[in-house]
Amino acid sequence: MLTGLRQAVQAQLARVPVKRKPALRRTDDPQALLMCDLPRVADEAAVAGFVAALEAEDWHIWQEPGWLLLDHAVPAPAMVWPEDYPGESGCCLWLLRQHPGDAAAEAYIRALVKAAEVGQQRVEWLCAQWHGEFATRLREHLPLPGGLAPYLAKGMKEEEK
């Protein structure tokens, strides 16, 4: 889910004259998907051109000292319900299927696609956190983030590298 977005950023980075290859990685910032140290390896004009090119592709970019933080809406994958629901991720997906609710907040989607890129253990850890939250929401008669279901179903199946 994150691979295509990462490739779009890498394609734009390849066009920028730099002193060394810039680092591009997932960020721990909950408001962004990726981070890049382009401001450390390119001049201001090159960085401004890179930012403008990505903003034209609907990226949201802001700068912190030495880093650009990059965020983009993650396209929803096709929804394919699994045959079984193993682990914490399966339990969360089962809850979303039984109690469909509101669209998922971008924060849920960002967290999930970053976790899926790390691997299944990280998805399971994240879903263990959500499981309690979802149960609380159901007890309080609040909707679940049903729009998260296609992302979670895909995250359960694939580990992106």
22 and 56 share one domain: yes
* CA nearest neighbour of 158 among 43, 65, 50, 78: 78
pLDDT, mean over the chain: 91
The range of the structural domain enclosing residue 93 comes to 87-157
60 and 8 share one domain: yes
Question: What does pTM read for this prediction?
Answer: 0.86
Does residue 21 fall inside a structural domain? yes
**pLDDT tens sequence across 127-146:** 999 999 999 999 999 899 98
Please say which residue of 71, 106, 126 terminates a domain: 71
**pLDDT tens sequence across 93-107:** 999 988 888 888 899
Whether residue 160 has pLDDT greater than 50: no
Does residue 80 fall inside a structural domain? no
Please say which residue of 36, 71, 106 terminates a domain: 71
Cβ atoms of residues 155 and 89 within 8 Å: yes
